[in-house]
Structure 1
Amino acid sequence: MLFKKVTSVLAVAGGVAAQRPSNMSICDYYTTALLTNNTAENQYTLLTLLVNTVVIGNYTMPNVGVAVPGILAPGTVDGEDVNLAPYFTGALASTNKGGMTGESVNFLDGGGAAPLMKNMPADDDSSNQYFLLTHLYQFFGGLLQCSQYGMGAFPAYTGDKSMYEVHKFMALDNAEVTYFITQVGLAASSFGVTEADVTAVGTALNSLFGRRCAPAVEVIPPQGAALQAICTEPDCPIADGAMCGLYDNVVEPSSVSSMAGNATMTGNMTTTMSGHATTTVVTTTDASGSVMTFTSTGMATGTTMAPTATVSTAGAAATGLSLMAVAGGIAAMLL
């Protein structure tokens, strides 16, 4: 069963990273290291901090010096421009709602960045944003083997078991998937997760979701096996034992020109430095003219940050991650 395979992948780092015992999951170890008590509530808080940072970039201070642009910020991968924001703002008809083509859905309808910066998924519990963020907390909690997952304050993931079905109308290419996985790695690194553990997580994510035509596997027990590849364009690396016949033809998402209030990423991103700190501001404008601002504050790593995040996969680990060096130690977080 693939879950056992993923478990072994995530456990590999145990023999490399001296700080984490091999019999302790990544989730449990860093919950204890960062939040002291390894409770269901604290494990859920850890995943909230991680996912929110992946989405909007650094917002917790202090961190260990790793700047995280976040997936809403534009970037480049091996010289190729990447902009994932339109998949979240509703600017693309890319959400699978059960039809033959994708639909436009605004996943920033629950307050945007403001609630995330308060360690919340959204301002309410009925928005698309709340649905997306809480499912991400739960999904990563299962993947990272949180011991309290599905207990008490840590609800189990009950979303679609097939990540392919969820993402099939996004037509994601290798650069886009690489950029997403890189932001997960940088977010983890910003909290002091060791490079070995970050690489183990990245390897699992890339193996599960970054290989075109991958056979059906189970990710979150006991949901059962399902197609998981979200990288579906021709430039995506082909999976071992590829079963392309199980996947539908790629449907490119159409642009949505008139969206009655859905946000469109038409703004810009600027990065400023003050001393050793960096502040990245992404400004977007929705269809009604309202302005949304996403602010990412991190620490410089010794080089000036470009206005967009740049990822290079040349010479990187098999995950395709390009990780900034961890400044060292376990981060103390102000919650």
Structure 2
Amino acid sequence: MLPRLLLLSLLLSTAQAGPALPSERGDQSICDFYAAKNYGENNATTQLKLMQGIVAYAYAGGRSLPNGDEDSSGIFNVGRFDGKDVNLRPWFDGSKATSNNNDQAVKIQWMDGGGTTPLIAFINGSTPMANIQRGTNQ
């Protein structure tokens, strides 16, 4: 079986390209198809793992993973677009007033559940689920 990172990369690129060919998945939803393909069966647990993997990869990226894609920075890390550095992290880490509370701009730390650490641990297989701290904004 391919490493989880490669499967998630494939899934993300497939999702961008459009739905899987009908001959591959018949009348299954894309979630049903990839949950079964990646985890051996399709049920609530494997669909949760699939969604956690997609979200974790989107936010944490794959750079720090073995054989990770250098261009896969993730939303929480500095990346590049059109030759320029892009840093979206301040919109999530509480350093900018980017949330609305009673019509007032406020700073909220959205990454207080461990930031990228639990996301990367899930993607690289160190943990069976993305273990975000309970009671946090993340």
Q: Write 1 or 2 for the structure with the bigger share of strand.
A: 1
TM-score using structure 2 length: 0.68
Bigger radius of gyration: 1
TM-score using structure 1 length: 0.30
* 1:234-285 residue CA offsets vs partner (Å, 9 max, x unmatched): xxxxxxxxxxxxxxxxxxxxxxxxxxxxxxxxxxxxxxxxxxxxxxxxxxxx
Offset of 1:49 from its aligned partner?
Answer: 1.3
Offset of 1:112 from its aligned partner?
Answer: 2.1
Which residue of the partner structure matches residue 51 of structure 2? 47
The 3 A distance-change label for structure 1 pair 110 and 27 is same
- Cα distance in 2 for partners of 1:80, 1:60 equals 21
Offset of 1:41 from its aligned partner?
Answer: 0.9
- Cα distance in 1 for partners of 2:31, 2:66 equals 20
- Cα distance in 2 for partners of 1:33, 1:69 equals 26
The percent of aligned pairs where both chains have the same amino acid is 32
Which residue of the partner structure matches residue 126 of structure 1? 135
Offset of 1:14 from its aligned partner?
Answer: 3.7
The 3 A distance-change label for structure 1 pair 61 and 71 is closer
1:56 and 2:60 correspond: yes
| Consecutive unaligned residues in structure 1, runs of 5 or more | 1-9, 130-335
Which residue of the partner structure matches residue 25 of structure 2? 20
* 1:185-218 residue CA offsets vs partner (Å, 9 max, x unmatched): xxxxxxxxxxxxxxxxxxxxxxxxxxxxxxxxxx
- Cα distance in 2 for partners of 1:100, 1:34 equals 44
The 3 A distance-change label for structure 1 pair 61 and 114 is closer
- Cα distance in 1 for partners of 2:90, 2:108 equals 10
Offset of 1:78 from its aligned partner?
Answer: 2.4
Report the count of equivalent residues.
114
Which residue of the partner structure matches residue 112 of structure 2? 109
Offset of 1:100 from its aligned partner?
Answer: 1.9
Compare relative contact order (CA 8 Å, sep 6+) and give the higher one, 1 or 2.
1
Q: Write 1 or 2 for the structure with the bigger share of helix.
A: 2
* 1:279-313 residue CA offsets vs partner (Å, 9 max, x unmatched): xxxxxxxxxxxxxxxxxxxxxxxxxxxxxxxxxxx
Offset of 1:81 from its aligned partner?
Answer: 3.5
| Consecutive unaligned residues in structure 2, runs of 5 or more | 1-15, 122-126
When the two chains are superposed, the root-mean-square deviation of aligned CA atoms in Å is 2.8
